[in-house]
Amino acid sequence: MDPDEFRRIGHEVVDWIADYRARIEDFPVKSQVEPGWVRGQLGALPEQGEGFDALLADLDRVVLPGTTHWQHPGFYAYFPANASLPSVLGDLLSSGLGVQGMLWSTSPAATEVEQHLMDELVGAMGLPARFLGGGVIQDTASSAALVALLAALHRTSGGKWRQTGVDGSETVYVSSQTHSSVERAARMAGLGEQAVRSIEVDAALAMRVDDLASRIRSDVEAGRKPVMVCATIGTTGTGAVDPVREIASLCAEHGIWLHVDAAWAGPAALCPEFRGLFDGLDQADSFTANAHKWMLTAFDLTLFWTAHPDVLVDALTILPEYLRNTATESGAVVDYRDWQIPLGRRFRALKLWSVLRWYGLEGVRAHLRGHVELAALLESWVTADDNWTLVAPRSLSLLTIAHRDGDEPTKAAMDRVNAAGEAFITHTTVNGRFAIRIAIGAESTRQHHVRALWDALSA
């Protein structure tokens, strides 16, 4: 494909994407196909190349029926995955450049645009100044949790972890509401499930500091080595917020790395009125927020900051001869390969840069505030209804609700809504009770969409 062919076909592809977004409400939000249906529609790979029009035809024939439409205004499941069109264009630019930004020298712009954006966001989000110079884009919050844990292991061992690995005495602390990625990180780091301590939560489903203190004290007395605590701002189930400042004081007392996971709620820090949720973050060792959830940036792009980039780099750095270069050896540049799990890295910053340049910070704030306002409106409808109730306090744009008559009516209402195709919602359990999660966050969701969801639920 030469540049002229690319130009012609590229216009067709952009038209297809634009047409898809324009008619996205015509599709059921959740794919209706049965397992194996998509594969059953696919033929053998062609021996000879064919025109791109055949692939576009198969997108309509096969891919769209087999797609759950995350950008649909009726998508309230899990958490949002904002793939705004400016970020799609930024992704296209990144792919078009095709750089491999593992080292500063392999593409200086890929590194320095990222550094600049991450430092600018420290101020824009009201993050502690100790994060300046410590920002990096990870692929997901799961990877962020793993690199935070590896840095914590390195610091706890006094640098010996790189040579000797773990010795089986290390412990990691989460709550019952913490995302499963932290437990997975412990497994991947070689600690095993036995190293993970699940801390009790209070009535608001936030981590209990008294139970955390007791578990840490017990482990220390048993000769174990507490390595990391993960506090959450906006848990997946209900959006609960752990008492970060109290947890930080306990971590400081014992020399434990505090990682704060705000994968979903983190972008809300752009709005000054929501920054109370982030109290204590100035004492954290690392912090993560997903731009690809609620910040208008196409998957995958996770914001990660650490106050100790030197520890992180020392834990992960490796420099074989074939990667040696003058810029690295000068010490004047950052090589992001040492800040992440894989060696190679994409120019992800272009997606984020495209979003921030198109919307501006005020545009992103309006996006966030609009969803919180819609959630507050839905909350008012729920509390005024005799049949439905909140099972946890509203958290920003997330509501967790249940039918007053119990689990069966709640589940039946969820299944009815999802089967109709105009909305997609998912569930959780709260103190053993089946509950519906409504995460308002799609870019195109407006009040009439939320009203239609509520009418369908309460019918």
How far are the Cα atoms of 20, 41, 333, 405 from residue 166, in angstroms, in the given order?
50, 48, 31, 50
Instruction: Please report, rounded to a whole number, the percentage of residues in the chain having pLDDT higher than 90.
Output: 88
* 23-32 average pLDDT score: 96
How large is the greatest C-alpha to C-alpha distance in the chain, in angstroms? 70
pLDDT for the residue 331? 82
**Token output for 404:** 């007053």
Confirm whether 137 is domain-assigned.
yes
Q: How many residues does the chain have?
A: 459
For residue 14, pLDDT over 80 is answered with yes
pLDDT for the residue 132? 98
* 286-313 average pLDDT score: 97
* 235-240 average pLDDT score: 93
Confirm whether 202 is domain-assigned.
yes
Beta bridge partners of 228: 172, 257
| Rounded Cα distance, 277 and 284, in Å | 14
For residue 267, pLDDT over 90 is answered with yes
Confirm whether 204 is domain-assigned.
yes
Helices (H), 46-100: 52-58, 85-97
pLDDT for the residue 330? 83
- Write the pLDDT tens digit of every residue in 48-64: 999 999 999 999 999 99
pLDDT for the residue 277? 97
DSSP string, 197-262: EEE-B-TTSPBPHHHHHHHHHHHHHTT-EEEEEEEEBS-TTT--B--HHHHHHHHHHHT-EEEEE-
161 confidence band (pLDDT: 50, 70, 90):
confident
| Rounded Cα distance, 409 and 213, in Å | 40
Residue closest to 264 by CA, chosen among 68, 429, 25, 437:
437
DSSP string, 140-208: -HHHHHHHHHHHHHHHHTTTTHHHH---S-EEEEEETTS-HHHHHHHHHTT--GGGEEEE-B-TTSPBP
Angle at alpha carbon of residue 175, lines to 173 and 179, rounded to 5°: 95
Confirm whether 82 is domain-assigned.
no
pLDDT for the residue 395? 97
pTM above 0.75, yes or no: yes
Confirm whether 409 is domain-assigned.
no
Lowest mean pLDDT across 202-206, 215-219, 316-320, 425-429: 316-320
| Rounded Cα distance, 52 and 14, in Å | 13
Judged by DSSP in three states, 102 sits in coil
Residue closest to 255 by CA, chosen among 230, 279, 229, 281:
229
Half-sphere CA count of 138, side-chain side, radius 13 A: 26
- Write the pLDDT tens digit of every residue in 403-447: 999 999 999 999 999 999 999 999 999 999 999 999 999 999 999
- Write the pLDDT tens digit of every residue in 121-139: 999 999 999 999 999 999 9
Confirm whether 83 is domain-assigned.
no
Please name the residues in contact with 352: beta carbons below 8 A apart, sequence gap of 6 or more: 87, 90, 117, 137, 291, 297, 301
Q: Which long-range contacts (CB under 8 A, 24 or more apart) does 98-102 make?
A: 99/347, 100/344, 100/345, 100/346, 101/336, 101/345, 101/346, 101/347, 102/323, 102/335, 102/336, 102/337, 102/343, 102/344, 102/345
Mean pLDDT (the chain, rounded): 95
Bridging pattern class, strands 302-306 and 286-290 = antiparallel
Token pair 């306990």: residue:
250
Judged by DSSP in three states, 27 sits in coil
pLDDT for the residue 231? 97
Neighbours of 266 (CB within 10 A): 28
Q: Are 152 and 236 in contact (CB under 8 A)?
A: no
Higher pLDDT, 267 or 164: 267
For residue 321, pLDDT over 70 is answered with no
CATH code (residue 187): 3.40.640.10
Confirm whether 337 is domain-assigned.
yes
pLDDT for the residue 405? 95
For residue 183, pLDDT over 70 is answered with yes
* 70-81 average pLDDT score: 96
In terms of residue numbers, what domain contains 109?
A: 99-346
Structural domain count of the chain: 1
pLDDT for the residue 17? 97
178 confidence band (pLDDT: 50, 70, 90):
confident
Confirm whether 212 is domain-assigned.
yes
pLDDT for the residue 25? 96
Bridging pattern class, strands 196-199 and 225-232 = unpaired
For residue 81, pLDDT over 90 is answered with yes
